[in-house]
Amino acid sequence: HVQLEESGGGVVQPGGSLRLSCTSSGFTFGDFVIHWVRQAPGKGLEWVALISHDGSDQKYGDSVRGRFTVSRDNFENTLYLQMNSLTTEDTGVYYCAKVPLASSNSGPKDWYFDVWGRGTLVTVSS
């Protein structure tokens, strides 16, 4: 059974940092691109970042580029999101989501969000 579980959310002051984790089970983690997607309270979904199966390539949304860093540890089956210079606009639920096909069988247009975790809440407030 494929599962993703986010952790590391909490309350942080503006300008602060936080690191989120996403642990996985039920599939060969190192074969798949993984995304971070967030949702501000009462708002829609916003794509944050993706990382290639081997960690060699990352892509970021415009609002987080230069402040957030996505990384992964394929030995520990864990994805990370290091968030720096946080602002109140970064408040929301952060989801990790895997793509459906292993990287050897897919390209960017097939890297859609197949299985999602339950999310972890990040609150940026003074």
Residues in touch with other proteins (CB under 8 A) = 35, 37, 44-47, 50, 59-62, 95, 100, 108-114, 116-119
State in angstroms the smallest separation of the CB of 80 from other proteins: 19
DSSP 15: T
State in angstroms the smallest separation of the CB of 112 from other proteins: 5
State in angstroms the smallest separation of the CB of 114 from other proteins: 6
**Phi, then psi, of 109 in degrees rounded to 5:** -70, -15
Q: Which is nearer to other proteins, 15 or 108 (CB)?
A: 108
State in angstroms the smallest separation of the CB of 69 from other proteins: 16
Report which of 70, 107, 67, 99 is spatially closest to residue 85, judged by C-alpha positions.
67
Query: Can you spell out the DSSP letters for 66-117?
Result: TTEEEEEETTTTEEEEEE-S--GGG-EEEEEEE-SS-GGG--GGG----EE-
Torsion 10-74-71-43 (CA) sign: negative
